[in-house]
Amino acid sequence: MAIDERAIIEQINRKNKQAFHDLFNDFFNSLVYFSTRYVGRKEVAEDIVQELFAGLWESNREYLSYNGFKTFLYTSVKHMSLDWLKHKKVEERYLSAKGTETDDEMDWKIMEEEIYRALLQAVGELPRRCREIFHLHLQGKKNEEIAASLGLSILTVKTQKKKASRYIRERMGKLYLLLLLLHVIEAA
Amino acid sequence: MHYTIIPLIRKHITGEITGEERETLARWIDEHHDNKAFFDRVTSGNGITERERFFRQTDKQRRLREFDRLIGYRKRRALAAARYYAAAAIVVIALLVWQAWPVPREIPAGEHAAIKPGSTRATLTVSDGTVFSLQSGGSQPIDAEGIARVDSTRAGIVYADRPDKSVRQRRDILRTSRGGEYRVYLPDGSMVYLNADTRLEYPVPFDADKREVQLSGEAYFEIAKERERPFHVIVDGIRVQVHGTTFAMSTREKDGIQTVLIEGSIGIQSATTGKEIMMSPGQLALFSREGELLALKHVNVYPYIAWKDGKFIFEEEELEHIMQTLSLWYDVEIAYLDDTIRRHPFTGHLRRYDDIYTILNAIAQIIDVDFEVNGRVITVKDTR
Residue A92: pLDDT above 60? yes
Is A81 contained in some domain? yes
For residues B134 and B95, membership in a common domain is answered with no
- Four-residue CA torsion sign, B126, B131, B136, B139: negative
The answer on B136 and B229 residing in a single domain is yes
Convert the pLDDT of each residue in B200-232 to its tens digit. Answer: 999 988 888 889 999 988 999 888 887 788 889
Per-residue pLDDT tens over the stretch B317-349 = 889 989 989 998 999 999 998 888 888 888 888
Q: Is residue A55 part of a domain?
A: yes
pLDDT confidence of B104, banded at 50, 70, 90? very low
Mean pLDDT of all residues belonging to chain B: 80
User: A–B: how many Cβ contacts below 8 A?
Assistant: 145
Closest CA to B263 of B277, B287, B232, B242: B242
Judge if B322 and B365 occupy the same domain. Answer: yes
Distance CA B297, CA B341 (A): 27
Angle value at C-alpha A62, between A57 and A68, nearest 5 degrees: 100
Same domain for B201 and B233, yes or no, is: yes
Residue (of B271, B281, B318) closest to B302 by Cα position: B281
User: Residue B333: beta bridge partners?
Assistant: B377
pLDDT for the residue numbered B183: 92
Do B212 and B282 lie in one domain? The reply is yes
* Residue-number span of the structural domain to which B96 is assigned: 68-100
Per-residue confidence (pLDDT) for residue B93, from 0 to 100: 25
CATH number (domain holding residue B230) = 2.60.120.1440
Q: What is the pLDDT of residues A22-58, one digit of tens each?
A: 899 989 999 999 999 989 899 999 999 999 999 999 9
With beta carbons less than 8 A apart as the criterion, state whether B217 and B250 touch.
yes
The reported pLDDT for the residue numbered B49 is: 78
pLDDT at A94 over 60: yes
Mean pLDDT of B183-188: 90
pLDDT of the residue at B113: 54
Helices B5-14, A103-124: axis angle to 10 degrees equals 40
Tell me, yes or no, whether A170 lies in a domain. no
Q: Which of B262, B281, B303 is the last residue of a domain?
A: B303
pLDDT, tens digit, 9 for 90 and up, residues B34-63 = 899 998 888 876 787 788 888 888 999 999
Looking at the fold, whether B137 and B226 belong to one and the same domain comes out as yes
Read off the DSSP letter of residue A153: -
Residue A159 lies in a domain: no
Tell whether B114 is covered by a domain.
no
Residue A109 inside a domain? The answer is: yes
CB-based contact B280 A177, cutoff 8 Å: yes
Range from A1-15, B49-63, B241-255 carrying the lowest mean pLDDT:
A1-15
State the pairing for strand pair B311-318/B345-351: antiparallel
Mean pLDDT across chain A: 77
Residues B95 and B130 in one domain: no
Q: Which helix (H) or strand (E) holds B99?
A: helix B78-100
Q: Are strands B257-263 and B283-287 parallel, antiparallel or unpaired?
A: antiparallel
Closest by Cβ to B14, choosing from A165, A176, A185? A165
For residues B213 and B235, what is the distance between their CA atoms, to the nearest angstrom? 9
- The predicted pLDDT at position B137 comes to 62
Q: Is the domain of B202 the same as that of B275? A: yes
| Boundaries of domain holding A47 | 2-114
- Is residue B358, in this structure, part of any structural domain at all? yes
**Percentage of the residues of chain B whose pLDDT score is greater than 90:** 15
φ/ψ of residue B146, rounded to 5: 70, 25
Tell me the pLDDT band of B186, cut-offs 50, 70 and 90: very high
| Whether residues B161 and B83 fall in one domain | no
Interchain proximity B14–A119, CB inside 8 Å: yes
Taking alpha carbons only, the member of B117, B107, B108 closest to residue B365 is B107
User: Does residue B39 fall inside a structural domain?
Assistant: yes
- Top pLDDT among B59 and B114 is at B59
In a domain, residue B320? The reply is: yes
Average pLDDT over residues A163-184: 49
In which band, very low, low, confident or very high, does the pLDDT at B1 lie, cut at 50, 70 and 90? low
The CATH number of residue A63's host domain is 1.10.1740
Q: Is residue A43 part of a domain?
A: yes
Same domain for B332 and B242?
no
Report the C-alpha gap between B179 and A76 in whole angstroms. 57
Listed in sequence order, the residues at least 6 apart from A95 whose beta carbon sits closer than 8 Å to its beta carbon are none
Residue B63 is assigned to a structural domain of this protein: no
Task: Decide which of B271 and B231 is more confident.
Answer: B231
Helix A143-150, helix A154-170: angle, nearest 10: 100
Which long-range contacts (C-beta less than 8 Å, at least 24 apart) are formed by B354-360?
B354/B117, B355/B117, B356/B112, B356/B115, B356/B117, B356/B326, B356/B330, B356/B332, B357/B107, B357/B109, B357/B112, B359/B312, B359/B326, B360/B107
B129 reaches A (C-beta below 8 A): no
In a domain, A20, yes or no: yes
Structural domain count, chain B:
4
pLDDT at residue B85 greater than cutoff 80: no
**Cβ neighbours of residue B237 under 8 Å, at least 6 residues apart?**
B270, B271, B272, B287, B288, B289, B290, B291, B292
CB contact under 8 A, A7 and B282: yes
In a domain, B25, yes or no: yes
- CB-based contact A143:A164 (threshold 8 Å): no
Peptide bond into B205 cis (omega under 30): yes
Chain A residue at shortest CA distance from B268 = A173
Same domain, B268 and B141: yes
Mean pLDDT of B256-278: 84
Specify the number of domains making up chain A.
Answer: 1
Alpha helix segments (H runs only) across A40-65: 42-58
How many residues appear in chain A?
188
Orientation of helix A128-138 relative to helix A103-124, angle to 10°: 150
In a domain, B370, yes or no: yes
Is B6 within 8 Å of chain A by CB?
Answer: yes
Residue B37 lies in a domain: yes
B:241-300 residues touching chain A, CB 8 A cutoff: 265, 267, 276, 278, 280, 282, 296-298
- Between chains, do B54 and A118 touch, taking CB under 8 Å as contact? no
The residue that leads in pLDDT, B336 or A125, is B336
- B168 and B255 in a single domain? The answer is yes
Lowest mean pLDDT among A8-17, B239-248, B315-324: B239-248
Longest Cα–Cα distance in chain A: 57
The answer to the question of residue A142 being in a domain is no
pLDDT score recorded for residue A169: 58
Q: Report the chain A residue with the minimal C-alpha distance to residue B50.
A: A139
Whole-Å CA distances, B277 to A1, A11, A116, A185, B236: 13, 22, 27, 16, 16
